[in-house]
Amino acid sequence: MTLRFNARLATIALTAAMAAAAMPAMAQVMVGGAPMLASKDIIDNAVNSKDHTTLVAAVKAAGLVETLKGPGPFTVFAPTNAAFSALPAGTVDTLLKPESKPTLTKVLTYHVVAGKYDAAALSKMIADGKGTASLKTVAGGTLTAKASGNAVMVTDEKGGTATVTIADVYQSNGVIHVVDKVLLPN
């Protein structure tokens, strides 16, 4: 009886040690000063990031909140406020107008890929593609990913390139990669 109890205790201790060892791999990522919780969906996390207020406003204006709260999985290349600010003057204000909703929706869904592609999956795709990986967006366009040193670069159909500045922000319905440029479809 004591031997069986000690074996169970050892099993519990080993399980706890393994879980504790795995914790750093699942550590919360901070984005825009807020922890991004893997238990929350893309929208519930994004609204807490002070670096993504423009993106959140755009998602709301385009009527994409419910979609991005859905089961997914989605991979989102999320431009920061600074990325939106780098667009020509007046672009964001124009996109946020109700009459621009179709264009705004196309731009936003161009940043979304169906499926969950974390950095390891993207790296494998790039390696398998001999240096590049093509990603079909929800908007129907294509993004091209490639490695540049330790960074992943994402190029749009117009030749604009964004750098993934924060990778692997896991969500309950996918993964976000923070990017420093707004990607534009043809």
Tokens of 6: 């000690």
Q: Is the pLDDT of residue 3 over 60?
A: no
Q: What size, in residues, is the chain?
A: 186
What's 143's DSSP letter? E
Query: Looking at residues 115-134, what average pLDDT do you find?
Result: 95
Q: For position 29, what pLDDT does the model report?
A: 83
* Number of neighbours of residue 186 by Cβ within 10 angstroms: 11
Task: Kindly give the interhelix angle for 53-62 and 101-109, rounded to the nearest 10 degrees.
Answer: 120
Contact 46, 178 (CB under 8 A): no
Could you read off the pLDDT of 97-116 as tens digits, one per residue?
Answer: 999 999 999 999 999 999 99
pLDDT level of residue 122 (50, 70, 90 thresholds):
very high
Looking at domain 29-179, its CATH superfamily turns out to be FAS1 domain (2.30.180.10)
Residue % of the chain over a pLDDT of 90: 60
* pLDDT tens digits, one per residue of 58-75: 999 999 988 988 888 999
Q: What CA–CA distances, in Å, run from 7 to 1, 10, 14, 18, 97?
A: 10, 5, 10, 16, 66
Rounded to 5 degrees, φ, ψ at 20 are -65, -40
Mapped onto helix, strand or coil, the DSSP state of residue 175 is strand
Q: How confident is the model at residue 44 (pLDDT cuts 50, 70, 90)?
A: confident
- pLDDT of 129: 95
How far is residue 139 CA from its own chain's centroid? 16
> Among 6-10, 158-162, 174-178, 179-183, whose mean pLDDT is lowest?
6-10
pTM, entire model: 0.82
Q: How far apart are the C-alpha atoms of 84 and 48, rounded to whole Å?
A: 18
